[in-house]
Structure 1
């Protein structure tokens, strides 16, 4: 089966030129703008894709809802520092405290294939996933405010909150996939930018609240804030196709798993994710420990990295609507790898490390926006593709890299002066192996694109967005 937007009422604006406003199709058969139900009642027409206030309000809502979904994982570095320096509040070593953040992000990513598959199979469950997810997040945060040990925080913040975020993430992403077809890349890019904006604002807000009020009040205040922010969004966010017109159970076509192009692009996605999280996790400590900058500057550099990923996500996402995804992936991976090798590797002062934060944030931070291009590419090759399910699998692939990068980063540290060349470059610090690893994995992110380009040259076919 195709995605819901293709299966029922794929109807675009006249301005796109793809289909007249008064026409749409069901299973490829042109229909009138009204559907007659089994009881003979004429159902209202389904809104068009890619335009109209409903589509753009859905995009705005899906962007805003990234804050409660990704807010805590993105701001966890602030909590980690607080828990480590206020030993009386939480019992546990600093190394075990770090497990809370990696567990939360890992579960959120790795649960995506399951949640997306469930909603693809049973579309009507979308209306329940959001409220259940929000309730689970609120309960996890509230319980964590009473925690006294690291194990309790891992269970509440790391597991319960992450499971709730996964339940909230899946339906809102599928709503966006349903509302946008021709401008899918732009839509996903803006939604990803919403996540980056949360990564800029929340760490500063959480840091100030923790210093003034402590962790218990901060967590309770954040619980109230996400409920107040998210509950109205869940009321207004809904699929383009009304629930009454959705089938109770849909067949999931897994034929795309036989496509070599899917595995090529997924492999590149996993390879890139192995090193993607390392700069955001260690940039601040590198700036403070190796360059001698203040902790405030270190936090500011992380904020700059997140800030530049906002235009990076939007621009790279938009490119997917007009260019082959292979070119877009190369644009992102080559740019981010050069940023690592040239600017982080040779950095010894604030100027060069700032340039690294700007360039890596733009090119590397926008890599996940290529997922919409991957979906478009695979959809052209396999028209029955369930686009939402593939998006969930790509998120799961990134989760694999996230889980592996945590323990791997500890192995990559070496003694100072491991190159022993007398230079004060980043390569010559204990971060040297990590810098090289990050640059190499960023470059390996282009592996799938290069393999796909090579396959197309051997068996050329015209590039097209949709069949």
Structure 2
């Protein structure tokens, strides 16, 4: 373990930085855990709104006072998938730029905060779907992405041997925000409508985020970094990276579909409107231990095995419980299992980083992480329009289960993408069988 940590330190920091004798230790100590705490807390303002979009979708498509009442659920869903997709899709660019030019990192947070707040205020006046896509979808995504990228790179400097635990913790923080904000947004929407809700969230975003921008700091002082550092792209030649990336993209195609459509699906069952918010919150709440435990497993097991656990668990949850659901009990069981297993998928990324470092010791972990997040964005962006098409092509069958509803194709697609999210493991087994 000691030798591996030494290699990671050497390859995740510029040569000039290693000559600094006063650098604090990695993986432990007060400073490291304060940064971990800050990176975890900032997940709330970065992801809180995007994780609550299912509640907004239900309001937009069912409330008589909504200007989007006549718009199809698939069109509104494109706003949420665009928000998540663009945020992830920009990560390869931001991670690459901030890895090559570390001095840009302190400026990203303030710029991102201004953009995110502006997007929420603009979207509060939207009356057309394209206006929602431009403000809530694109502009908010860019602002949130600029908030997220530098803090994640700070975390990558502070945690090396315990990287899985650290990333598992911040993804758990993201999930915790997802189980709180649907309730808040649902309550505000029912009392004040979308305009006041979005404007209130814009103000809250400033209050929550601004102090963290001053509190988070890199392990390597910006003044000690070179203005431009070389990048290592050798991992792009590794077949294992592309197989793992393929599974990552496939899983992300269907990952957001449950949280996007659960509220609407519960509404078709005649359940109270609060049920949708509760189910989305349960998914996020179950993702808290799922993300943390998956992150811990990455520090001890092969990444493909951890991915397999996540994929099989979420696949069974979709096919057995959402597909057969006709009451709130089965839906709640699905929400718990899907949240735990699928919600922890992003926490497999540290295992992928370890695998890439094992095969190529010169890998820049920030670049790999950026491309993994970008691959997730590809799936999210494609998944939105695909889900709209699946709804239009819904089959008509008798029965009361999820498979027999208009959401049947959505359920099957979610289960299939969850299963083939484990393609990295499948490829490894296939490769071993053919060797």
TM-score, reference length from structure 2 = 0.91
Q: Is the 8 A contact 1:283 1:301 kept in 2?
A: yes
Q: Give unpaired runs (5+ residues) of structure 1.
A: 1-15, 36-42, 460-467
Q: Is the 8 A contact 1:141 1:157 kept in 2?
A: yes
Q: Is the 8 A contact 1:326 1:453 kept in 2?
A: no
Q: Which residue of 2 aligns with 1:71?
A: 48
Instruction: Name the CA distance, whole Å, in 2 between partners of 1:215 and 1:280.
Output: 19
Flag the structure with larger Rg.
1
Q: Does 1:447 align with 2:426?
A: no
Query: Once the two structures are superposed, what CA deviation does each residue of 1:150-177 show, in whole Å capped at 9, x if it has no partner?
Result: 4333322222211111111111111111
Change in Cα spacing, 1:350 to 1:259, as seen in structure 2 (3 Å) is same
| Displacement after TM superposition at 1:179 (Å) | 0.7
| Displacement after TM superposition at 1:34 (Å) | 9.1
Change in Cα spacing, 1:287 to 1:153, as seen in structure 2 (3 Å) is closer
Instruction: Name the CA distance, whole Å, in 1 between partners of 2:4 and 2:239.
Output: 32
RMSD: 2.7
Q: Is the 8 A contact 1:90 1:150 kept in 2?
A: no
Q: Is the 8 A contact 1:97 1:150 kept in 2?
A: yes
From 171, 185, 191, the equivalent of 1:206 is 185
Q: Which residue of 1 aligns with 2:100?
A: 121
Q: Is the 8 A contact 2:82 2:133 kept in 1?
A: yes
Q: How many residues are aligned here?
A: 429
| Displacement after TM superposition at 1:426 (Å) | 2.3
Q: Which residue of 2 aligns with 1:6?
A: none
SS class of match (2:332) = helix
Instruction: Name the CA distance, whole Å, in 1 between partners of 2:5 and 2:160.
Output: 15
| Displacement after TM superposition at 1:442 (Å) | 0.9
Q: Which residue of 2 aligns with 1:356?
A: 334
Q: Does 1:386 align with 2:338?
A: no
Q: Does 1:228 align with 2:207?
A: yes
From 274, 286, 302, the equivalent of 1:308 is 286
Query: Once the two structures are superposed, what CA deviation does each residue of 1:48-97 show, in whole Å capped at 9, x if it has no partner?
Result: 11101111111111111111211221122233333445566646852344
Q: Which residue of 1 aligns with 2:383?
A: 405
For 1:318-357, list aligned pairs within 5 A: 318-357=296-335
Instruction: Name the CA distance, whole Å, in 1 between partners of 2:208 and 2:9.
Output: 36
Q: Which residue of 2 aligns with 1:464?
A: none
Change in Cα spacing, 1:25 to 1:352, as seen in structure 2 (3 Å) is closer
Instruction: Name the CA distance, whole Å, in 1 between partners of 2:227 and 2:287.
Output: 39
Q: Is the 8 A contact 1:92 1:150 kept in 2?
A: no
For 1:47-196, list aligned pairs within 5 A: 47-85=24-62, 90=67, 93-95=70-72, 96-196=75-175
Change in Cα spacing, 1:123 to 1:229, as seen in structure 2 (3 Å) is same
Q: Which residue of 2 aligns with 1:10?
A: none
| Displacement after TM superposition at 1:394 (Å) | 0.7
Instruction: Name the CA distance, whole Å, in 2 between partners of 1:284 and 1:137.
Output: 25
Q: Give unpaired runs (5+ residues) of structure 2.
A: none
Change in Cα spacing, 1:404 to 1:296, as seen in structure 2 (3 Å) is same
Q: Which residue of 2 aligns with 1:9?
A: none
Instruction: Name the CA distance, whole Å, in 2 between partners of 1:376 and 1:410.
Output: 37
For 1:242-281, list aligned pairs within 5 A: 242-281=221-260
Q: Which has the higher helix share?
A: 2
| Displacement after TM superposition at 1:389 (Å) | 1.1
Deviates more, 1:402-411 or 1:257-266: 402-411
SS class of match (2:232) = coil
Q: Is the 8 A contact 2:112 2:147 kept in 1?
A: yes
SS class of match (1:294) = coil
Instruction: Name the CA distance, whole Å, in 2 between partners of 1:317 and 1:132.
Output: 30
SS class of match (2:406) = coil
Instruction: Name the CA distance, whole Å, in 2 between partners of 1:393 and 1:101.
Output: 21
| Displacement after TM superposition at 1:458 (Å) | 6.8
Q: Does 1:431 align with 2:407?
A: yes
| Displacement after TM superposition at 1:212 (Å) | 2.3
Instruction: Name the CA distance, whole Å, in 2 between partners of 1:195 and 1:94.
Output: 30
Deviates more, 1:314-323 or 1:73-82: 73-82
Q: Is the 8 A contact 2:77 2:260 kept in 1?
A: no
Instruction: Name the CA distance, whole Å, in 2 between partners of 1:297 and 1:237.
Output: 37
Q: Is the 8 A contact 1:34 1:45 kept in 2?
A: no
Q: Is the 8 A contact 1:92 1:149 kept in 2?
A: no
TM-score, reference length from structure 1 = 0.85
Deviates more, 1:133-142 or 1:171-180: 133-142
- Relative contact order: is structure 1 or structure 2 higher (C-alpha 8 Å, sep ≥ 6)? 2
Deviates more, 1:90-99 or 1:247-256: 90-99
| Displacement after TM superposition at 1:318 (Å) | 0.6
Q: Is the 8 A contact 1:132 1:167 kept in 2?
A: yes
